[in-house]
Structure 1
Amino acid sequence: MDDKVNVLALHLKAFTDYAELRGISSKKLGKALGHPLPDLDKPDLIVDGDDFVYILETIVDLLKDDKLGIRVGNHLNLKTLGAIFSVSLKSTTVQEALFYCQDYLNRTLPLVTTTSSRSGNIASIVLSTHDKTSLVSRVLLETMLTVISREIQLLSGEATSIGVTSPYYKREYPNHWKKGEMFSVNFQHTILKATLQNNQGWGLDTLIPQYLSLIEAMRPDESFSRKIRVISLKMASPVLPDIHMVCDVLNLTPRTLQRRLSSEGNNFKSIMKSLKHEITGFLIRHHQFSITNMSYLLGYSEPAAFIRSFKKEHGSSPRKLRQYLLKEAPNLLAHEDASK
């Protein structure tokens, strides 16, 4: 690998658990790697991308199984994906649920590039890696395709037609797979079964900060600013904490905290603004949150203040942007750069 990347350990656990099932112990994989494997059960643990690839190469070489990716994907318990699974189950459309699925994969498994499109009532998700010919890429992509198609089936119901393509397709693959030039999932854009549920008490307002704190913890950045972001997201209830609450956790005075942030060219107000921007990008995709609800969850004194701030940041009202994201966006899974 040319670029240094980190991968969420839970992705590696899917492969090591399956390898264990097939007689390849973690101890054996650690010996091949040159050091023991860490405890991959920790929800926010990250592993080096090179180590991730090397372990996959070892498993692929030892098992020599053409359907390895499909078998791993079917063996994977979706609940092990953590916050993303909890959030997607509470969505009301495939558009909402798979926005989280793509965002999660893009942030926690940067070895894989995920893109999507929609034509009429048919949505397509395409996965790729930089190395399109290696066996590791094939296994990794076919695992992800299996997981995504399972998620769509779970959320949409048995009647939903789902097609999966792979350049490596063979006759022994599942019936809904076929040969194609790309690794892709194609399905009808439908309303999820979740729409039949009661929208009350879903807890999305607290799950979203949990999800973002997991993503934030993966960043290689060791700055004090990142530490404040992680602490703030973990303390969200769902309203983000104020500076005094954060200072109490760190046993610092507000003046000291601001001085340390200033040395990095940052300040507490800017961090809160950035976090509110990210949380807004998720909340606005869920129509069960009114503009009034959103303004409260983001700590604004009144909806008008939230709307003014939103228009200044995005150039349009929350209502108009929501309509665009939920109905008209050409890339139904597109998400904004978290650095904004």
Structure 2
Amino acid sequence: MRQIKIATQHLDSFIEYGLMRGLSLDKIKSSYTNTDSNVVTKTEFYTTLRAISTGLNDPLMGIRTGEFLSLNALGLIYQISLKAVSVSEALYYLKDYINATLPIVQMDLSERTNSLEVNLSIDNNEIALNSILLETLLTIIGKEIRFMSDQNIQIILLSPGYNNQYPEGWIVGNTFSLKANKVKLKAAMHTHAKWQLEILVPAYLKFVESLKYQECFTNTVKITALNMAKPELPKLEIIADNLNITPRTFQRRLAIENITFRQINDELKKQLSKLLLQHKTFSVNNISDILGYTEPAAYIRAFKKWYGVTPNSFRNSDN
């Protein structure tokens, strides 16, 4: 029987989240003896996932991993969405992608006139670990569909393990599944500048890479915030929940490093603003919206505080 191979990038996504939560890389990879940089065996995949799950001891690990990961993290819908006209078409591309890179997962699609449903399953006895993996995939699929679509899309995520600790948008179900109404993609992506993620995401990721050489809680917060950006940066409470700590503990750990969340948020907006101004397709109003300001005037005031000039003056200079 041919041995099942799984793309390493799927495992690396869980490893990255585990590291952000403070797990030791040596402990995570204690039985990860991969010799092929592109794939791991099913045994290696589950052994490593089990080590991360045991280390975190977090019932919502799957969902939190999915929320943490940035658009390109699993290479799921974002890349294929560039070729797709509708959500259903994008999901057909996705099914082929999962079959090729994550063959333990069975993905089934069903369509009606105005709705579609995605069902995910795994046929083995690793019930707890499968739940983590499938809830991660559902979280990412739901997140990326929202990015690709207009604001009227309705998405429901279902899990047999649902309880009242699950985030809004989840309900109990007999299977791991997603239900959504059908919408067109291209019109929404071209009429809303903030959904032009083919420009925004590389800027995010470039900045994230520059942060990975620092080991401190401040850096963990920065990377988590950038990965969870939609594209506006998440609030303190959302990041704290993703790291499975209370807002008070979150703020106390930052205080130990002599920094506040407001300062981190301000610094990220400053850096992202500089990156986004390099792209002429984004107007000052667009960038103000992307960064979560209530009005352009507030963004312009903040920018002048950072750089001493207006955004347009900065854009037209040699900076």
Within 2, Cα distance between the matches of 1:144 and 1:167? 15
Distance change >3 Å, CA 83–CA 185, structure 1 → 2: closer
Give matches, 1:181-330, under 5 Å.
181-194=174-187, 197=190
Q: Which moved more, 1:155-164 or 1:2-11?
A: 2-11
Within 2, Cα distance between the matches of 1:9 and 1:196? 30
Distance change >3 Å, CA 116–CA 158, structure 1 → 2: same
Q: SS in structure 1 opposite 2:72?
A: helix
Within 2, Cα distance between the matches of 1:196 and 1:34? 40
Normalised by the length of structure 1, the TM-score is: 0.52
Q: Which amino acid aligns with 1:143?
A: T
Report how many residues are paired. 192
Q: SS in structure 2 opposite 1:78?
A: coil
Q: Which amino acid aligns with 2:9?
A: L
Q: Which amino acid aligns with 2:67?
A: N
Is 1:115 matched with 2:108? yes
User: % of aligned pairs identical?
Assistant: 35
Within 2, Cα distance between the matches of 1:14 and 1:38? 18
Q: SS in structure 2 opposite 1:163?
A: strand
User: Paired residue for 1:150?
Assistant: 143
Distance change >3 Å, CA 171–CA 196, structure 1 → 2: closer
Contact 1:113 1:128 in 2 (8 A): yes
User: Paired residue for 1:255?
Assistant: none
User: Which of 83, 89, 107 is matched with 2:82 structurally?
Assistant: 89
Deviation at 1:196, TM superposition (A): 5.6
User: Paired residue for 2:4?
Assistant: 5
Within 1, Cα distance between the matches of 2:189 and 2:92? 20
User: Paired residue for 1:62?
Assistant: 55
Q: Deviations over 1:51-90 (max 9, x none)?
A: 0011111111221111000001011112134486323134
Deviation at 1:18, TM superposition (A): 0.5
Contact 2:32 2:48 in 1 (8 A): no
Within 2, Cα distance between the matches of 1:65 and 1:21? 14
Q: Deviations over 1:14-58 (max 9, x none)?
A: 100001011112221222x164x679xx6xx11112100111111
Within 2, Cα distance between the matches of 1:82 and 1:170? 29
Select the structure with the greater relative contact order (CA < 8 A; seq sep ≥ 6): 1
Deviation at 1:194, TM superposition (A): 4.7
Within 1, Cα distance between the matches of 2:141 and 2:189? 22
User: Paired residue for 1:16?
Assistant: 15
Q: SS in structure 2 opposite 1:110?
A: coil
Contact 1:7 1:46 in 2 (8 A): yes
Contact 1:92 1:192 in 2 (8 A): yes
Q: SS in structure 1 opposite 2:40?
A: strand
Normalised by the length of structure 2, the TM-score is: 0.56
Q: Which amino acid aligns with 2:112?
A: S
Q: Deviations over 1:231-276 (max 9, x none)?
A: xxxxxxxxxxxxxxxxxxxxxxxxxxxxxxxxxxxxxxxxxxxxxx
Q: SS in structure 1 opposite 2:153?
A: coil
Compute the RMSD of aligned alpha carbons: 2.5
Is 1:103 matched with 2:102? no
Within 2, Cα distance between the matches of 1:103 and 1:157? 25
User: Paired residue for 1:335?
Assistant: none
User: Paired residue for 1:28?
Assistant: 27
Deviation at 1:4, TM superposition (A): 1.9
Within 1, Cα distance between the matches of 2:4 and 2:45? 10
Q: SS in structure 2 opposite 1:79?
A: coil
User: Paired residue for 2:132?
Assistant: 139
User: Which of 64, 76, 81 is matched with 2:69 structurally?
Assistant: 76
Q: Which amino acid aligns with 1:157?
A: D
